[in-house]
Amino acid sequence: MRTLPIIEQHFHGAFGVDFNKAGVNDILFLAEKLYSLGIHGFFPTLVTDSVANINRQIGIIKEASKLSKSILGVHLEGIFINPEKKGIHNPKHFMALTVENYKKVEDDFIKIVTLAPEFDNGLIKYLKQKGIKVQAGHCTGFGDVDGVTHVFNAMSGIRHRGNSTALSALVKDDVYTEVIADGIHVSDDALKLLFKSKPEDKVILISDSLPITYSDIKETTFADSKIFYDGKKATSSDGTIAGSTKLLPEIIKILAKKNMFSPKYIENVYDYHSIEKIGEIEWDEDFNIMS
C-alpha cells in the first residue's frame, strides 16, 4: 500500500528531544530521525510554559525550520486552556483568552492554537483572521473552532443532556478532530464511535508524543510535572496520563491490526493545512513502512 508521507500536527518530541527545551541542533537531529520513519512533516507542539520560554523556543524552532523543510510551524497547546481540564499543564502559566495576552507570544510561525473556547474574549476571531487553526482542547466548551485537540482526552465528555466538547466534536461534520489512537488514551469502543460519527475526511491521527518516546528515559520533567514511564504508559505522580509514548507509524499499525485504519487519516492533515501533496511512502502487508 502507498500513502502520502506522514505529517504529525501534535507532537511534543521524541528520542529525548523536548521542544520546550531543545536547541536548533536537537530539533534537526529529531527531524532526521522522523524522516527515516516516514514522518516528513511536523508541527512542534509547545506545552504551557512561561511567556519568556515560549518566545525563546518559538525562535529556536523557526531557526531550525530554515534548515529543515519538515518543520511546518508551531502548535501552541497551553496558556489559554481551562484549569478544570488542565491534564499535566501547570496552571500558574495560564492566561485569559484576550488578544492582548496572545500578542505576548505572537509569531507568524504559530499555525495552530489549542484553547478553551468557553473563556474566549475576542481571541478566536483574531486568530482566525490571521489564518491560524483554532482548536478546542483542555476545555468544556466548543465555539467557532476549526478543530478539536485529542478528542475525549482533557475535555468534557459525552452525555445525553446538554452540550459537551466531545459531543460537539462528534456531531459537527465540518470540524477536524484529532485523536490519539495509541491503545492507551482512547478505548476501542470510543474509537469505533468516533470513526462511525465523523466523516472520514475530518479525522486527524496524532501521537501527542512525549520526549521520552524512543529513548531510554524512564523519568523526566515535562510541563513542570514529574513524568514516569512504566514501559507501557507515561503518567504524572498522581496517575494522570501524559502524552503518548508511540509515534504515528506505530499507531497506524495498531489501528490497521484492528481494521480501523483508513489511508484518508494520513491525507486529512494535508487538506486541513493546505499542504502540497508530494511524494509517497510504501507499507508492507503488515503495515511496516518499507525503506
pLDDT, tens only, 9-40: 999 999 999 999 999 999 999 999 999 999 99
At 234, the pLDDT band (50, 70, 90 cuts) reads very high
Provide the percentage of residues in the chain whose pLDDT is more than 70. 100
**pLDDT tens for residues 259-277?**
999 999 999 999 999 999 9
pLDDT of residue 5: 98
Mean pLDDT (the chain) is 97
Beta bridge partners, 112, equal 75, 133
Number of domain units in the chain: 1
Measure the CA–CA gap between 266 and 252, rounded to whole angstroms.
Answer: 9
Residue 283 has pLDDT above 80, yes or no: yes
Determine the distance from the C-alpha atom of residue 45 to the mean position of all C-alpha atoms in its chain, rounded to a whole number: 7
Q: What is the CATH number of the domain that holds 147?
A: 3.20.20.140
Q: What range defines the domain where residue 183 resides? A: 2-290
pLDDT of residue 159: 87
At 241, the pLDDT band (50, 70, 90 cuts) reads very high
- pTM, to two decimals: 0.97
Classified as helix, coil or strand, 209 is strand
Q: In the predicted model, what is the mean pLDDT of residues 164-175?
A: 97
pLDDT of residue 291: 66
C-alpha cell at 26: 536537537
**pLDDT tens for residues 153-169?**
999 999 899 899 999 99
C-alpha cell at 6: 506522514
Residue 200 and residue 185 in contact, taking contact as beta carbons nearer than 8 Å: no
> Which region, left, alpha or beta, applies to residue 33 given φ > 0 means left and ψ of -120 to 50 means alpha?
alpha
Pairing assessment for the beta strands 110-115 and 74-77 based on DSSP bridges: parallel
